């Protein structure tokens, strides 16, 4: 059994070189000194929405809900400067199509991302021979700009930021308390002792969500046994290496290796290792730096292309994977709901997290527009009964699909256990059969959230489904 040894040095953060938020933070420095931030100050009948979290999920919520003329959005981000760790991110056709519907063309036009030359979303190779074992396919997607794309997180984040008014983003606002009252709305209290009030609160604050902890305190995250060794650096460092140009996932008996261009002259390598999730001596934490010597040792017998890429890698950091059970509901007191990793702690499986968050945000907008259309917004805010209906439709659209994904995640974890103890327990034939028999991920990556929403509305109108009348 291979164990990780913590190897701490000064943190390396790929976002630092591309951070564009310094002037934004300066503009809001005076605002952070105030004792209260009251989002209900606007006397017009706008629905006041507080979004907790300014990452990809939170920005997607803001972009989506601001399509509605009756909505005012305020984003509360815990960090003082935007920083994205983890570095690379993939968006499938589902997320890319939704971004196009939201008018975020700058995130999908190829200027900030990389797509496969072959058009295969993923290519799987044998760890030692480099032989192509299998390929994923786009099943229903015909438009090139909707083909799977890979990004540096910072560049995707910046592309989304271009569609969000800077004045609605409040930095350095770590949420420490949320009080939701069915009749009165939501009050947020921050670590700096300021407060904010809103009609509804959207928790978009990630897998370790404080919003979720407030309303589901017994929800726990557990290690899945998979740890990623991630690195992002300038592609020029690997320009003289002979390796497959398309992104490839190299599969070994108990570990894997992934490499890809991610746009704008950046490159990523990701090693993946399965370990015992119950090992009490494993003290590795998210974003710990790891020894390059040990990283290279783990892949010393792999294909020369893999070894060369790792040799060129300037650093690597550890990300132990965490996941949790499906929640019974995402909505609380008819005033608070969750999106993205805050709602579904699937641990980044299937490289689906970014697209799932974007689709969550869009589904929430579709539900709000259906229940409280723009014409109705001219005269009044939605009463709490309509808000409850919005959240019911949102969950009916998203939760069955998400719960199915979470079920697949837990099956995947169980499936890896037989190979954890021995590297040689799996023959080449067994490995190749395992890869070829993998589930087709297109049911996740090509899921159509708008079509699903319309099906929910149609089935509800026909009485074919019953949406719970009361949410916790």
Q: Where are the domains of the chain?
A: 18-87+153-220+325-421+441-461
pLDDT at 35 over 70: no
- 463: which 2 tokens? 């009485």
Q: Which of 95-104, 239-248, 279-288, 334-343 has the lowest mean pLDDT?
A: 279-288
pLDDT score at 25: 42
- Segment 175-182 shows an average pLDDT of 96
CB-CB contact of 178 with 187 (8 Å):
yes
- Segment 405-427 shows an average pLDDT of 66
Q: Which has the higher per-residue pLDDT, 83 or 192?
A: 192
Which residue in this structure is represented by tokens 């916790």?
472
- Segment 119-128 shows an average pLDDT of 97
Pairing of strands 222-234, 316-323: antiparallel
pLDDT score at 446: 95
pLDDT score at 412: 65
Q: CA-CA distance, 162 to 108, in Å (whole number)?
A: 13
Q: CA-CA distance, 250 to 271, in Å (whole number)?
A: 9
Q: CA-CA distance, 93 to 142, in Å (whole number)?
A: 10
Q: CA-CA distance, 389 to 274, in Å (whole number)?
A: 43
Using 50, 70 and 90 to split pLDDT, how confident is the model at 462?
low
pLDDT at 279 over 90: no
- Segment 346-354 shows an average pLDDT of 80
pLDDT at 445 over 60: yes
- Segment 99-104 shows an average pLDDT of 97
pLDDT score at 424: 58
pLDDT score at 32: 38
Using 50, 70 and 90 to split pLDDT, how confident is the model at 464?
low
pLDDT at 198 over 70: yes
Q: Which has the higher per-residue pLDDT, 19 or 165?
A: 165
pLDDT score at 146: 96
CATH of domain 18-87+153-220+325-421+441-461: 3.50.50.60
For residue 239, which of 267, 208, 217, 210 has the smallest C-alpha distance?
Answer: 267
Mean residue pLDDT across the chain: 87
Q: CA-CA distance, 209 to 4, in Å (whole number)?
A: 26
- Segment 313-321 shows an average pLDDT of 93
Q: How far is CA 326 from CA 359, 409, 453, in A?
A: 18, 11, 20
pLDDT score at 223: 86
pLDDT at 430 over 70: yes
Q: What is the pLDDT of residues 46-57, one digit of tens each?
A: 999 999 999 999
- 195: which 2 tokens? 């407060």
- 176: which 2 tokens? 């420490």
CB-CB contact of 311 with 245 (8 Å):
no
For residue 243, which of 279, 226, 217, 268 has the smallest C-alpha distance?
Answer: 268
- Segment 318-342 shows an average pLDDT of 94
pLDDT at 299 over 90: yes
């Amino acid at each position: 059994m291979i164990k990780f040894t913590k190897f701490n040095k000064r943190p390396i953060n790929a976002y630092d070189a591309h951070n564009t938020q310094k002037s934004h933070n300066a503009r809001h420095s005076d605002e952070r000194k105030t004792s209260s931030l009251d989002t209900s100050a606007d006397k017009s009948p706008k629905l006041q929405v507080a979004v907790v979290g300014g990452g990809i999920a939170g920005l997607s919520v803001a972009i989506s809900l601001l399509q509605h003329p009756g909505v005012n959005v305020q984003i509360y981000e815990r960090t003082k400067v935007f920083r994205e760790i983890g570095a690379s991110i993939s968006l499938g056709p589902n997320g890319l199509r939704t971004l196009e519907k939201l008018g975020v063309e700058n995130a999908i036009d190829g200027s900030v991302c990389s797509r496969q030359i072959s058009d295969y979303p993923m290519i799987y190779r044998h760890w030692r021979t480099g032989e192509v074992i299998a390929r994923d396919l786009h099943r229903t997607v015909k438009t090139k700009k909707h083909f799977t794309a890979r990004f540096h997180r910072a560049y995707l984040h910046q592309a989304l930021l271009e569609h969000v008014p800077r004045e609605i983003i409040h930095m350095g606002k770590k949420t420490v308390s949320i009080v939701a009252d069915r009749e009165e709305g939501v009050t947020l209290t921050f670590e700096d002792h300021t407060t904010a009030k809103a009609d509804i609160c959207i928790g978009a604050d990630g897998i370790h969500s404080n919003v979720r902890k407030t309303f589901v305190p017994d929800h726990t995250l557990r290690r899945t046994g998979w740890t990623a060794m991630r690195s992002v650096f300038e592609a020029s460092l690997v320009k003289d290496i002979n390796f497959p140009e398309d992104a490839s996932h190299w599969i070994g008996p108990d570990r894997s290796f992934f490499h890809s261009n991610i746009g704008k002259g950046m490159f990523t390598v990701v090693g993946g290792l399965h370990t015992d999730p119950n090992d009490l001596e494993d003290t590795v934490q998210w974003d710990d730096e790891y020894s390059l010597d040990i990283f290279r040792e783990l892949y010393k017998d792999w294909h020369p292309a893999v070894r060369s890429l790792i040799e060129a890698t300037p650093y690597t950091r550890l990300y132990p994977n965490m996941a949790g059970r499906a929640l019974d509901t995402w909505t609380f007191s008819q005033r608070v709901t969750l999106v993205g990793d805050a709602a579904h702690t699937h641990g980044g499986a299937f490289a689906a997290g970014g697209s799932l968050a974007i689709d969550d945000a869009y589904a929430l907008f579709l539900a709000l527009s259906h229940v409280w259309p723009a014409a109705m917004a001219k005269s009044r805010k939605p009463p709490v009964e309509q808000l409850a209906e919005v959240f019911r439709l949102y969950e009916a659209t998203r939760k069955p699909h998400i719960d199915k994904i979470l079920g697949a995640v837990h099956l995947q974890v169980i499936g890896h256990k037989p190979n954890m103890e021995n590297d040689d327990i799996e023959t080449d034939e067994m490995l190749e059969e395992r890869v070829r028999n993998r589930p087709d991920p297109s049911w996740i990556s090509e899921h159509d959230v708008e079509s699903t929403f319309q099906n929910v509305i149609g089935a509800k109108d026909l009485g074919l489904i019953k949406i719970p009348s009361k949410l916790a």
